[in-house]
Structure 1
């Protein structure tokens, strides 16, 4: 039996939940690279500054490798590096605030430029509250 490894990259703007997703799927066993956030416009104490990494053993012996990218534009140089060899990407967008389509679009553009045939799933996080701007009132 051949063991296969599957690489998925989790991308999206700062605060969208990338680290939380990787940590949750790996049951808290992911490696995270968080540092104190220096962006005063985001109400978040820590942020990813390199990449998060976690892996999951799948049935049959296969392995899923998850890479969480930093969300800030200043780290955009790492996005193509993380996308190399990926089988898919997840782009998360924070649904509890006005969607910053420009930054989410930058992540999608990086995917289109680096791996134009890569399957992509877009996830909207932090939904479900009555004051969510993406939910009808």
Structure 2
């Protein structure tokens, strides 16, 4: 069962040890190094993670906030997903990792409509093809369906 995250805003850097500077290969073009370092800085890579995000079940609860279940049937769930800024990337589109997380939550939920709660579920493999980016605040309609139902 997911636990409700605390409202604390303290941050921790324990998960990402800080280094003065990364080791850079001598054969790298200095221009490419500078561009890469700027990109890393702009994407906030290595930024401290708020302590309330380090609670068990935080991410599951977080990702479910972007899903509205419209209809549940045996072997099928119809949902609406809103591409809100917290799950979008620096380019203003739905982040690929968020897509994978949403797919995992929705497929597991769909499987639960046909599999008993006492049975353990495992999503062994997923394949996602990206045709184009989903812009911020776009509403997506999804309908995961189990095979044979």
Same fold (TM over 0.5): no
Return the index of the structure with the highest Cα Rg. 2
Query: Which protein is richer in helix relative to its size?
Result: 2
Structure-1-length-normalised TM-score? 0.30
Higher strand share: 1
